C-alpha cells in the first residue's frame, strides 16, 4: 500500500473514532463492539454461503474472516480481536494488513470464545452485527444489541466518505474498467453472456464470490430485465445489444458501473443509447452540494421524455408525456443510490441522525436516495430506458394509448433496455467522477 494511502487510512480511522464516540455519547453507551459476521450454511447442507463481513465492521477494517470483534472505547485506540482458528481443511483468513495494525491494535485469538473473553464484560456496551444470541450469552443486554438510535447514527455517518474511502472507490473503478473493456471486446467478437462474464472476471483479476454484487451481463431483450441474473451460453445469432452492470472489489469496498453498447442494433435504439450517454453526463454535471437528490431524479425523467419524444416513441411532446407520467414504465427504477461498503449503501432514506425516514414520493417508489446532496457523499448516477412488455401493456388501453407509438415500441422490445452508470463523489463546489477517468465510454 502506498504511504500516502496508509496515512489516509489512519485519518479514516481517526474520523471513525470521533464519530463513534459522538454516537456513543448521544445514546448513553460507554463501549461499542462490532461483529464481523457469521458463516452461514445452506439449509440441510454442509456447504457454506460465500462470507462477506458486515458493513459496520468493514467500515473500520478490511480484514477477512468471520467472528472477529472490533472494540471501540472513547479516548482509546480501537482494538481488533481477530479470530484465526487452526484449520487444515481451509486456508486461514489472511492476517490483518500491516496498515491496519498501525492504526488499530490487533489481537490474534484462536476462537470466538477467546475473543469474547478478551473483550470482557463492560456495562453499557452496545453490540452491532450478527449473533444477537451470542452477544446476550456473553453479557450484552438485549436492548443494547443493534440499538436502533445508535445504528441510525452510524448509518447516517456512513454517507460521508473520508478521502481514504474516496480513493479506494476510485481505484475500484479503475479495476472494473479493465473488466468493462474486456467485456466490450468479447461482445464485439460475438461472445455469449457467459463468455463475457468470464472475460470481465479475468480482466479484473477477481473471483465471482469476491464481487461486490453479481454481474448483470444481458444481451438484446434481456437487457430490459433490471437485475437480470442469468448468463446464457451461445445462441444462434450474434447479439446486437449488450448491457453490463458490474463492479470490482477493493479493501471491502466496491465500484458499481453500467454501460450499454450496440453493434448492428435497430438504428432508433442505437440513437437512444447515444442520447442516454449525453443525458447521463448532463445529470452528472449537475451534481453539487445543496441539490435534493429527488430533483436529479426528476430531471432524469424529463430527459428520458425528450429522448423518447425525439425518436417518435411518444406521439405527444416531451412535456406532455412527462406531465402524464408516461416516462415511468420506461424508467421504473431510481436514478441511483449511495455507494461504499455495500453496493446499495445504507442511509439513503434517512431524514436525520435519529433514524427518522424520508420515504420516496409514491410516484417514484423505487428511489433509494431521498437525502439532500452534500459534500463527501458518494452515489451512482444511472438513468435508464427500457422496453418492458409487462410495464407497457397496461398503457395499450385508455387515454394514454394514443400518446404511444405502439408499432415502434413493439419493434424496440427485442432490443431490450439501456442504462449508463457512473460513481460520483460530491466535492465542496461540484463533484468528482470516479468512473470516467478510467472508462470514458
Say what angle helices 3-27 and 163-188 make with each other, to 10 degrees: 120
Taken in order of first residue, the domains within the chain and their CATH numbers are: 3-157 (3.40.350.10), 163-433 (3.90.230.10)
Q: Say what percent of the chain tops pLDDT 90.
A: 96
- The values of phi and psi at residue 217, to 5°, are -125, 100
pLDDT digits 0-9 by tens, 231-247: 999 776 899 999 999 99
Please give the pLDDT value at position 11: 98
- For range 216-223, the mean pLDDT: 98
- For range 146-156, the mean pLDDT: 98
Burial 196-227 (b: 16+ CB within 10 A, else e): bbbbbbebbebeeeebbebbbbbbbbbbbbbe
Alpha helix segments (H runs only) across 205-315: 267-285, 293-310
pLDDT digits 0-9 by tens, 298-337: 999 999 999 999 999 999 999 999 999 999 999 999 999 9
Residue 358, classified by CB atoms within 10 Å of its CB into exposed (0-12), middle (13-18) or buried (19+), is: middle
- For range 104-116, the mean pLDDT: 97
What is the β-pairing status of strands 417-419 and 257-262? unpaired
Residue 1 has pLDDT above 80, yes or no: no
Please give the pLDDT value at position 3: 73
Residue 398's beta-bridge partner residues? none
Residue bearing cell 484449520: 87
Q: Tell me the whole-structure pTM to 2 decimals.
A: 0.97
Helix then strand then coil, % of the chain, to nearest 5: 40, 15, 45
pLDDT digits 0-9 by tens, 139-148: 999 999 999 9
Residue 258 contacts residue 335 (beta carbons within 8 Å):
no
CA distance 296 to 284: 9
Using CA atoms, how far residue 290 sits from 335, 357, 377, 427, in Å, is 17, 19, 12, 11
**How far, rounded to the nearest angstrom, does the alpha carbon of residue 392 sit from its chain's CA centroid?**
28
pLDDT digits 0-9 by tens, 367-423: 999 999 999 999 999 999 999 999 999 999 989 999 999 999 999 999 999 999 999
Output the CA angle 29-370-392, nearest 5 degrees.
140
| 129 secondary structure, DSSP code | S
Amino acid at each position: 500500500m502506498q504511504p500516502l494511502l496508509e496515512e489516509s487510512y489512519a485519518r479514516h480511522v481517526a474520523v471513525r473514532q470521533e464519530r463513534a464516540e459522538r454516537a456513543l455519547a448521544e445514546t448513553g453507551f460507554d463501549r461499542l463492539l462490532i461483529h464481523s459476521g457469521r458463516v452461514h450454511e445452506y439449509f440441510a447442507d454442509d456447504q457454506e454461503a460465500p462470507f462477506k463481513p458486515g458493513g459496520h465492521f468493514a467500515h473500520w477494517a478490511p480484514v477477512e474472516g468471520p467472528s472477529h470483534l472490533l472494540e471501540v472505547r472513547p479516548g482509546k485506540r480501537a482494538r481488533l480481536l481477530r479470530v484465526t482458528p487452526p484449520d487444515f481443511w481451509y486456508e486461514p483468513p489472511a492476517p490483518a494488513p500491516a496498515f491496519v495494525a498501525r492504526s488499530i491494535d490487533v489481537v490474534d485469538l484462536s476462537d470466538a470464545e477467546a475473543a469474547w473473553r478478551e473483550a470482557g464484560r463492560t456495562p453499557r456496551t452496545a453490540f452491532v452485527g450478527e449473533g444477537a444470541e451470542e452477544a446476550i450469552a456473553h453479557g450484552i443486554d438485549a436492548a443494547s444489541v443493534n440499538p436502533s438510535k445508535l445504528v441510525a447514527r452510524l448509518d447516517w455517518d456512513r454517507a460521508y466518505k473520508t478521502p481514504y474511502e474516496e480513493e479506494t472507490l476510485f481505484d475500484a473503478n479503475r479495476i472494473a474498467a479493465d473488466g468493462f473493456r474486456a467485456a466490450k471486446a468479447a461482445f464485439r467478437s460475438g461472445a455469449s453472456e457467459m463468455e463475457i462474464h468470464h472475460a470481465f472476471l479475468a480482466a479484473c483479476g477477481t473471483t465471482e464470490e469476491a464481487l461486490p454484487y453479481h454481474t448483470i451481463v444481458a444481451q438484446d431483450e434481456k437487457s430490459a430485465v433490471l437485475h437480470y441474473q442469468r448468463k446464457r451460453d451461445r445462441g444462434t445469432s450474434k447479439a446486437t445489444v449488450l448491457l453490463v452492470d458490474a463492479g470490482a472489489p477493493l479493501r471491502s469496498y466496491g465500484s458499481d458501473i453500467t454501460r450499454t453498447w450496440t453493434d448492428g442494433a435497430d438504428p432508433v435504439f442505437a440513437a437512444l443509447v447515444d442520447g442516454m450517454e449525453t443525458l447521463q453526463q448532463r445529470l452528472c454535471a449537475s451534481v453539487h452540494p445543496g441539490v435534493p437528490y429527488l430533483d436529479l431524479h426528476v430531471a432524469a425523467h424529463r430527459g428520458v421524455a425528450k429522448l423518447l419524444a425525439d425518436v417518435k416513441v411518444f406521439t405527444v411532446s416531451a412535456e406532455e408525456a412527462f406531465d402524464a407520467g408516461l416516462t415511468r414504465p420506461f424508467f421504473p427504477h431510481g436514478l441511483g443510490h449511495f455507494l461504499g461498503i455495500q453496493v446499495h449503501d445504507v442511509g439513503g432514506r434517512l431524514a436525520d441522525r435519529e433514524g427518522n425516514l424520508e420515504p420516496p414520493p409514491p410516484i417514484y417508489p423505487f428511489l433509494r436516495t431521498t437525502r439532500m446532496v452534500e459534500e463527501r457523499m458518494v452515489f451512482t448516477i444511472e438513468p435508464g430506458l427500457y422496453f418492458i412488455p409487462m410495464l407497457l401493456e397496461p398503457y395499450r388501453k385508455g387515454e394514454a394509448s394514443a400518446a404511444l407509438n405502439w408499432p415502434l415500441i413493439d419493434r424496440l422490445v427485442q432490443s431490450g433496455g439501456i442504462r449508463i452508470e457512473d460513481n460520483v463523489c460530491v466535492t465542496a463546489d461540484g463533484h468528482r467522477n470516479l468512473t470516467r477517468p478510467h472508462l470514458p465510454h
